[in-house]
A and B are shown apart, each in its own frame.
Chain A
Amino acid sequence: DQQVKQNSPSLSVQEGRISILNCDYTNSMFDYFLWYKKYPAEGPTFLISISSIKDKNEDGRFTVFLNKSAKHLSLHIVPSQPGDSAVYFCAASSLYTGTASKLTFGTGTRLQVTL
């Protein structure tokens, strides 16, 4: 049972344009959402997060939007740069699980930014 879904395995965007990566979740107990970026043969690095009490969080070129009623979040990257080419994972957690706060990950979307 995939509780966090990233339905687009890959995305190709031209440099300078906007990249939009999508994520859906099914568990209503999730109240915190994160995006990670991962290069091949490396560990994921934390990008940006959002609490369920917000609908938008912005950090430089990265903005995450949360639509709780639709159980959907998206990551916008503007403008996209070649160095953004990587696999992006959406993750969710529930603060009700205590300090361990397990992260449940989606299957990832491979973003390729072309020149």
Chain B
Amino acid sequence: DGGITQSPKYLFRKEGQNVTLSCEQNLNHDAMYWYRQDPGQGLRLIYYSQIVNDFQKGDIAEGYSVSREKKESFPLTVTSAQKNPTAFYLCASKEGRRTEAFFGQGTRLTVV
């Protein structure tokens, strides 16, 4: 089955620790995205990538980093510089010039 897999579904980390969220897709999509959802704020774009070895900052990139070494994978690292890391993180991918993106099931990160 083709799709987008995010792991883990729930993640707990201590304050000050970096943590990496996994996103893998087998849809052969070129573009991949990371969004963050907070209550009452909708989905906000963190980073996106159009092709391998290239990525751009979204609207709220501070405190986050990404890599795109393979077409299938777009991991997101939440660094200790992110002031409010507790949130629901969503990865998405999109094919070529189509406008609809398809989302993974999300990772809920809780920093204690």
Give the interface of A toward B (CB within 8 A). Answer: 4, 6, 9, 32, 34, 36, 41-46, 49, 89, 91, 93, 95, 98-108
Contact = CB atoms under 8 A, between A and B. Distances in A.
A90 to B, nearest CB: 9
Nearest to B6: A43
Interface in B6-62: 6, 9, 30-31, 33, 35, 40-45, 48, 50, 56, 58
Contact of B50 (A6, A89, A98): A98
B105 interface: yes
A31 to B, nearest CB: 9
A34 B94 CA distance: 14
Contacts of B58: 102
A34 B41 CA distance: 18
B42 A93 contact: no
A105 B50 contact: no
Interface centre among B30, B33, B43, B106 (most CB of A within 10 A): B43
A4 B43 CA distance: 11
B103 A45 contact: yes
Interface residues of B, number: 32
B41 A107 contact: yes
A27 B91 CA distance: 25
B108 interface: yes
A49 B6 CA distance: 25
Nearest to B101: A103
Nearest to B104: A43
B43 A32 contact: no
Contacts of A32: 99
A6 B42 CA distance: 10
A9 B43 contact: no
A43 B43 contact: no
A36 B41 CA distance: 15
A43 B44 CA distance: 14
